[in-house]
Amino acid sequence: MKARSVHPDNKHEAIILTPLQDITTIDRWLWALLLGLIGLGGYAYVRQLTLGMGVTGMNRPVYWGVYITNFVFFIGLAHSGTFISAILRLAGAEWRKPLTRAAEAITLFSLPFGVASIVVDMGRPERLLNVISHGRFQSPLLWDFTAVSLYLCSSVVFFYLSLLPDIALCRDRLTDVPAWQHRMYEILALGWQGRPEQFHRLERVLDGMAIFLAMLVVTVHTVVSWVFGMTIQPGWHTALIGPFFLLGAIFSGTAAVVIALAILRRVYHLEESLPLGLFNSLRKLLIVFTLGWLYMMVSEFLTIFYGNIPEEMEVFWQKFTGDFTWLFWAMTILVFVVPLLIFIFRGKDSIGWMVTASVLINVGMWLERFVVIVPTETRPRLLYELVQGTYRPTWVEAVITVSMFAGMFLLYAVFTRFFPIVPVWETAEEPGAEVPPVTRRRRRFGVRR
């Protein structure tokens, strides 16, 4: 296949393609380290499979712990790509263009670990197929399985289609890379030739898929929340749980995009392709999400407090002053107080402060998932007077969690070494878009006297 393509002009093309031409020693060491962590996770998982779920901290009545926290967190991270790419695309926000691929890659590489968290939590992974052979419609788990699978499939296609012209660019420009790498570009480019009609159709399909994905992004996280909300457990059985999960997902996802962009900008010297203005735009979005998250928190807890239903209050006080008080208040400070102060007083024009706030938000959002899930299980409805559960994660859960994050980082790092992380064709200069020279403008519009 020797197809050559017409490529739009982009003055940053050479800088964007530079990381693809050489894998450094630091890369190899980083990949080895991450692979080592994944190996440790594999060992812990084999141990769990062999000895049973007793090696985890889960017990009666706490059946869901760190693994399900990871599941909700990873699915949440996966909303970054769709939010940035699809929703901002529909809104016509042009500033999103340089960061779309970095955001979509987070979606693509975090979703599989969300799914894997469920498999790890099952203890008997072969029973996953029961969803197909014995699936019942009334089960929210089936809705979850369908929605997440469809989201994964659609995200892969959306990502791949928007990558297609850039794969063709790699095929045509990167002729001095190893033969297998060039062959990979040839196969993945599917004979793309960059005809105007191809670009026109690509834009139409991406616009259409953006609408579909915007709908899916809402559906997926709402359905994830319904796995909890459709039970009648205190703290979970509320209509607010869907929007609460959705907002949290987009919030942590957008913060993750800030972290990824800052690292890419620094490591690959993409200062011109990823200008400071992008971070300022994301800062404004994050301020809105931080306040939205506070609104959700207040709505949730104020309603519970005024209802004063005994079983609800049992969980409520567990969070505010009970066993989970440290986690709850740490989460509030990390997700809301400190980031908001940083965004308002320090974040503008400062990538370092933006990254600090974003890391805090993601740590806080993981804690938030934990605090939503576990306290309810330690004080379940009807049983809380008889059984007061406790939960302390073991090293097996900790190691498997670390290995999952390592896996996500590894996939991301490897991807950035083989494919352009800034979309070259989407950020290309539009022909005729430049401002005409001053003399020509004067001739056309006249001179102000």
Partner 1 sequence: MTIGELIGAFFTTPGPGGVVVILVLGLAGAIYVLLTRWILQGGQAEEGTMRRLR
What's the chain's Rg over C-alpha atoms? 24
- Which member of 28, 60, 183, 195 binds partner 1 (CB under 8 A)? 195
- For residue 61, say if its preceding peptide bond is cis, omega within 30 degrees of 0: yes
The CA distance from 29 to 123, in Å, is: 33
Residue closer to partner 1 (CB basis): 191 or 436 = 191
Binding range to partner 1, per CB under 8 A, among 69-77, 201-209, 246-254, 357-365: 201-209
401 binds partner 1, rule: CB under 8 A: no
126 binds partner 1, rule: CB under 8 A: no
Binding range to partner 1, per CB under 8 A, among 45-53, 126-134, 343-351, 372-380: 126-134
Task: Tell the residue number behind the tokens 């060039």, with chain if given.
Answer: 182
Size of the site for partner 1 (CB under 8 A): 32
Of residues 402 through 431, those in contact with partner 1 by CB under 8 A are none
Among 409, 406, 103, residue whose Cα is nearest residue 255: 103
CB of residue 136 to partner 1, shortest distance in Å: 5
Phi, psi of 298 (to 5 degrees): -65, -45
Of residues 144 through 173, those in contact with partner 1 by CB under 8 A are 145-146, 149-150, 153-154, 157, 161, 164
Phi, psi of 317 (to 5 degrees): -75, -25
Residue closer to partner 1 (CB basis): 49 or 205 = 205
The CA distance from 170 to 270, in Å, is: 18
CB of residue 196 to partner 1, shortest distance in Å: 6
CB of residue 142 to partner 1, shortest distance in Å: 5
131 binds partner 1, rule: CB under 8 A: yes
Q: Under DSSP, is residue 268 helix (H, G, I), strand (E, B) or coil?
A: coil
- Which member of 22, 126, 176, 197 binds partner 1 (CB under 8 A)? 197
The CA distance from 104 to 404, in Å, is: 18
Q: Does an H or E element contain 161, and which?
A: helix 140-173
- Which member of 33, 190, 309, 383 binds partner 1 (CB under 8 A)? 190
8 Å CB contact between 381 and 232: yes
Residue closer to partner 1 (CB basis): 146 or 299 = 146
Q: Does an H or E element contain 130, and which?
A: helix 130-134
205 binds partner 1, rule: CB under 8 A: yes
Q: Under DSSP, is residue 238 helix (H, G, I), strand (E, B) or coil?
A: coil
Can you give the binding site for partner 1, defined by CB under 8 A?
131-139, 142, 145-146, 149-150, 153-154, 157, 161, 164, 190-193, 195-202, 205
